[in-house]
Structure 1
Amino acid sequence: MAPTPGSLMGARPAIMPQPRMMLVVTGDDFGYCPRRNQGIVDCFQAGGISNVSLLVNASAAKEAADLAKRHSIPIGLHANLSEGIPACQSLQQASTLINQRGFFHGKMGFRQALERGQISMKQVELELRAQIRLFRELTGHLPHHMDGHQHIHVLPEVREVFAQVLSDLRIPYTRVPVETGLHSCPWLPTHLRRFYTQVEKDALDSIPVFTRYGIRWPDVYLGLTTMGQNMSVPNLQKALSHALAAGPSHSTTSSSASGSNPPVVTAELMVHPGYPSHPQEGGCGEGPDDFSQSAERQHELRMLTDPSMLALYSQKRVQLCAFKDL
């Protein structure tokens, strides 16, 4: 490192302390609408996120892929089986994945159909592969990571197909939404707590499946307790403290431990920054949902780029990175 002008001869150069955590901050739902895309790009440029997850069947997916190229934003695939229209043309007319109107069954509708044994896993596989092909057409490369919109990838049966597809295509990373500290958040309303607890159970049941297929994921996951209006600097600080206390949890950790240095914790923070969608503009075929049109997306954008949040990363020795850096 070259000495700075005016520095004393022989003075030791400043050494960056080793990070305690490598944190992937993933902006989900990239491609949902132009306003979401713009918010995500603004958030990336301000240092609030380090990675994005693309909805390839969303209305502004091509624009999102172009923006990622232009701004060198690391991008993965947000596999979607619950909102909008299938990417696979043969599944758009009549399939177990769609309702009578030709749309996916929805977040809860998909889960209910799955429980009733009404979803064909062969069709799930066809759709996942079609979305990966479309991702490749839009971006020019395979995704380095792939997760599930509304956590569909950890659901029973789906997780097996999902892991098989990732393994076949050598997509190395996924998301395992098990959040330390989930059960110590009294501010969560009952319906959300119930849904998140089920997501956590499904995610825990996915671990042996993903392990068997050699899929990797960060040590720690954050993001359920800090979504929308629940995102604040104190809540993010609490989530980070839980994550740092949990430490490295499985053998897929990137081994930054050398000599006497403790191993670096790897983590993913799932976020949803953006500007509120205009009515009738965006979504995956049925228009934008209520969360997308609310002020909560912009609230997340503001919190993620708040100077005190960025200072907190520095203070806690948290280094933002992409999945490809793990």
Structure 2
Amino acid sequence: MPQPRILLVVTGDDFGYCPKRNQGIVDCFKAGGISSVSLLVNASAAKDAADLAKRHNIPIGLHANLSEGIPVCQSLRQDSTLVNERGFFHGKMGFRQALGRHQISMEQVELELRDQIRLFRELTGHLPHHMDGHQHVHILQEVREVFAQVLSDHKIPYTRVPVEPGLHSCQCLPAHLKRFYAQVEKDALDSIPVFRRCGLRWPDVYLGLTTVGQNMSVSNLQRTLSHALSISSCAASNPEERVVTAELMVHPGYPSHPQKGGCGEGPDDFSQSADRQHELSVLTDLSLLAMYRKERVQLCAFKDL
């Protein structure tokens, strides 16, 4: 077999969110569409997800969550800066706004992250193979320093740096998403020196912001992978062709039942959307899997990088 040009980790996020998401992710893994998962330990079906990962030997990491549902740490469920008056996290944008107003305690962020790692270990029997952030909270200002130190302390080697080649030239994103992703990119770039200082690693290329939901198609995945392939080609002047590492973030599954799932407040629109099954269908499309073989893209887990 020729050497692969790309080692690609395809990570199914939000594992544990609900039984239907869990089943869809497992089906996607068994069909060869994903090669890794990120577990939400405060989600309603987290234990079921951990058991499924063990049963099917699915490489699993931690999807650190500071924005949706209820804290894992009991002492932070009331009268903490991480929750609102109802005891829930502030939400994707609410957390960012509170952080911008300097209303989030980094000591409490650290407590919650360490408790999520503890619960992950209880559920799976081992430390995470990688750790990223639900809704990209791990790269936010101040949080990134705490996050990186916690990973370093636990010797968790891999994380996610969501800087996607071709993001700004993508025509399929609405204006509000482009603005949000531009901020995600800025936060990610600002996180790199912090992550490097703590000895963390991440793949050469990140993909997935421009291919979420209905924007995912075989042609769009080919387009995003072409950026990684171009890096591989540029490095091919060496006697031994360089192997580029990449991560593709995806959210496959079956749509959540309206009354079943979530992290304490029920499943959100994102999880109930038919987009989840659309992603599952695209990721297991035989033409996509054939393209991987043709372009020498080898799916793998973080531990294989």
TM-score by length of 1: 0.92
> What's the counterpart of residue 275 of structure 1?
254
Please tell me whether the aligned partners of residues 232 and 241 of structure 2 are also in contact (alpha carbons under 8 angstroms). no
Summarize deviations over 1:162-209 as a string: whole Å, max 9, x none. 000000010000000000010111110011101000000000000000
Please tell me whether the aligned partners of residues 76 and 82 of structure 2 are also in contact (alpha carbons under 8 angstroms). yes
Report whether the alignment pairs 1:101 with 2:80: no
Q: SS of the counterpart of 1:62? A: helix
> What's the counterpart of residue 307 of structure 1?
286
Give, as a single letter, the amino acid of the residue that structure 1 aligns with 2:277.
Q
TM-score by length of 2: 0.98
Report whether the alignment pairs 1:120 with 2:105: yes
> What's the counterpart of residue 8 of structure 1?
none
Summarize deviations over 1:203-260 as a string: whole Å, max 9, x none. 00000000000000000000000000000001000000012213499xxxxxxx9x82
Please tell me whether the aligned partners of residues 248 and 265 of structure 1 are also in contact (alpha carbons under 8 angstroms). no
Flag the 1:248–1:83 CA change in 2: closer, same or farther, 3 A.
farther
Q: Can you give the 5+ residue segments of structure 1 that lack an aligned partner in the other structure?
A: 1-15, 250-256
CA distance in 2, matches of 1:116, 1:55: 27
CA distance in 1, matches of 2:140, 2:109: 12
Give, as a single letter, the amino acid of the residue that structure 2 aligns with 1:126.
L
> What's the counterpart of residue 181 of structure 1?
166
Give, as a single letter, the amino acid of the residue that structure 2 aligns with 1:70.
R
CA distance in 1, matches of 2:5, 2:160: 20
Please tell me whether the aligned partners of residues 159 and 209 of structure 1 are also in contact (alpha carbons under 8 angstroms). yes
> What's the counterpart of residue 286 of structure 1?
265
Please tell me whether the aligned partners of residues 110 and 150 of structure 2 are also in contact (alpha carbons under 8 angstroms). yes
Q: SS of the counterpart of 1:142? A: coil
CA distance in 2, matches of 1:261, 1:37: 40
CA distance in 1, matches of 2:303, 2:263: 28
CA distance in 2, matches of 1:99, 1:183: 35
How is 1:106-255 mapped onto 2 (pairs within 5 angstroms)? 106-247=91-232
Aligned counterpart in structure 2 of residue 70 of structure 1, from 55, 67, 81: 55
Count the aligned residue pairs.
Answer: 303
State the superposition RMSD in angstroms: 1.2
Shift of 1:261: 1.4
Aligned counterpart in structure 2 of residue 34 of structure 1, from 11, 16, 19: 19
Q: SS of the counterpart of 1:184? A: coil
Aligned counterpart in structure 2 of residue 49 of structure 1, from 30, 34, 38: 34
Shift of 1:36: 0.1
Report whether the alignment pairs 1:319 with 2:298: yes
Q: SS of the counterpart of 1:162? A: helix
CA distance in 2, matches of 1:108, 1:246: 34
Please tell me whether the aligned partners of residues 128 and 162 of structure 1 are also in contact (alpha carbons under 8 angstroms). yes
Summarize deviations over 1:132-183 as a string: whole Å, max 9, x none. 0000000000001000000000000000000000000100000000000101
Give, as a single letter, the amino acid of the residue that structure 2 aligns with 1:286.
E
Give, as a single letter, the amino acid of the residue that structure 1 aligns with 2:246.
A
Please tell me whether the aligned partners of residues 219 and 247 of structure 1 are also in contact (alpha carbons under 8 angstroms). no
> What's the counterpart of residue 4 of structure 1?
none
CA distance in 2, matches of 1:49, 1:41: 9
> What's the counterpart of residue 7 of structure 2?
22
Summarize deviations over 1:23-44 as a string: whole Å, max 9, x none. 0000000000000000000000
Give, as a single letter, the amino acid of the residue that structure 1 aligns with 2:98.
A
Q: Percent identity?
A: 82
Flag the 1:292–1:264 CA change in 2: closer, same or farther, 3 A.
same
Query: Highest Rg: 1 or 2?
Result: 1
> What's the counterpart of residue 5 of structure 1?
none
Q: Can you give the 5+ residue segments of structure 2 that lack an aligned partner in the other structure?
A: none
